[in-house]
Amino acid sequence: MNRISGTTLVMLLLILIQSAKSQPFAEIQFVKMDHNFGKIKEEAGPADVNFNFTNTGKIPLIIQGVEASCGCTTPEYSREPVLPGKTGFIKVSYNPEQRPGAFSKSITVTANIPKTVRVLTIAGEVIPKALNLNDLFPIDFGKIRLSSDELSFVRIKDHEIKRDTIRIYNPGTSSASVTFKNIPPHLTIKTIPEILLPKSKGIFVITFDASKKPEYGFAYNRIFMAFNGEENYTDPLKVSATIEEDFSKLSTADLENAPKIEYNTKVFDFKEIAEGKTAEFTFLVMNKGKKDLLIRSVTTSCGCTTGKPSSNTIVPGGSAELKVTFDSHQKVGMQNKIITVISNDPSHSTTLLRIIGTVKSN
């Protein structure tokens, strides 16, 4: 077998390197690689800038891709090969709509050049547009307009009372009074002022008293209104909160002797089923603590999913089955359903179980 000496190998490598250096290539040279728009008005629409470049190489320059760091930035560029000595462009457009304040974005350019990536940058400051009454009160209820038709108290302790407001406006030429229908015991709503004069503003004051809501977990209510006695059952006011047990007053000894919830698994993957079929699974809920574990509630993220424990009370060292059923009717594609379990375990009062899989169309 012929052997190549070390000297010969070095000479071959030098020849290859020299050959690579002598190969013609394209090169891109920008007039500038960054641009500051300064202050631009939100209502003025997209702001544009052209990054012009020259191919200073010896073969045609091909822009292979231009990618912006944000969907608010849209690039266009020369699609045809740029011959040596000729010029091309990359046009960048920034949309300031609903993006007040300072911004800085990057645009990555890939081409057939030795250093295959170039990064352009744009910057500036968006001056927000002056808001009109329709902007401030975007929800149209006919007689009045609202700043929002939803109010979430997020998390609230079982003894807690929270209060919040929704801003309202009467755009009409006559006064408007608002009364509320089907208000549950744990909610109170007041209109201030009681009579909303034409072209005037007011507020709904909404109070959530969790001590009057016996169930734990997610509470969601749709409140309908009547304007000047005329009922509206089309557009509800939506109020929600998640009610949690208050463990803040438990002592160290209470916590050490508390119930402790555990599961055999928190995810059930039914893999693949045909549309219209059901998938069933039984989660095992165990109490590894020292006091009775109470299952306060079990709720699901979709009406297609049901879950019910075999017992709501689990003694220390015991367990209960939580049978979950998923109905795939009209649920084609990837599925991810959540089962929320609320218990009296101070460390894990809320647990999210998941059902995942794919439903194939028939």
Give 116-126 pLDDT, tens digit per residue: 789 999 999 99
Does residue 151 belong to any structural domain of this protein? yes
Both 122 and 171 in one domain: the answer is no
The last residue of a domain, from among 193, 217, 244: 244
What is the model's pLDDT at position 1?
Answer: 43
Single out the residue of 181, 222, 180 nearest to residue 204, CA to CA: 180
Both 218 and 152 in one domain: the answer is yes
Specify the CATH number for the domain of residue 333: 2.60.40.10
What is the model's pLDDT at position 69?
Answer: 87
Both 171 and 238 in one domain: the answer is yes
Both 142 and 214 in one domain: the answer is yes
The last residue of a domain, from among 92, 127, 162: 127
What is the model's pLDDT at position 22?
Answer: 55
The last residue of a domain, from among 199, 220, 244: 244
What is the model's pLDDT at position 89?
Answer: 95
Cβ neighbours around 342 below 10 Å, total: 23
What is the model's pLDDT at position 9?
Answer: 60
Walking along the chain (362 residues) 10 residues at a time, the average pLDDT comes out as 55 52 83 96 94 96 91 90 95 93 94 89 94 91 92 92 97 93 93 96 97 88 89 83 91 95 96 94 97 93 92 97 95 93 93 94 84
Range of 268's domain?
A: 254-360
Both 272 and 352 in one domain: the answer is yes
Per-residue pLDDT reduced to its tens digit, 43-62:
999 999 999 999 999 999 99
The answer to pTM > 0.75 is no
Both 273 and 223 in one domain: the answer is no
How many structural domains does the chain have? 3
What is the model's pLDDT at position 71?
Answer: 84
What is the model's pLDDT at position 12?
Answer: 56
Cβ neighbours around 303 below 10 Å, total: 7
User: Distance between CA 111 and CA 93 in Å, rounded?
Assistant: 20
What is the model's pLDDT at position 232?
Answer: 67
Does residue 16 belong to any structural domain of this protein? no
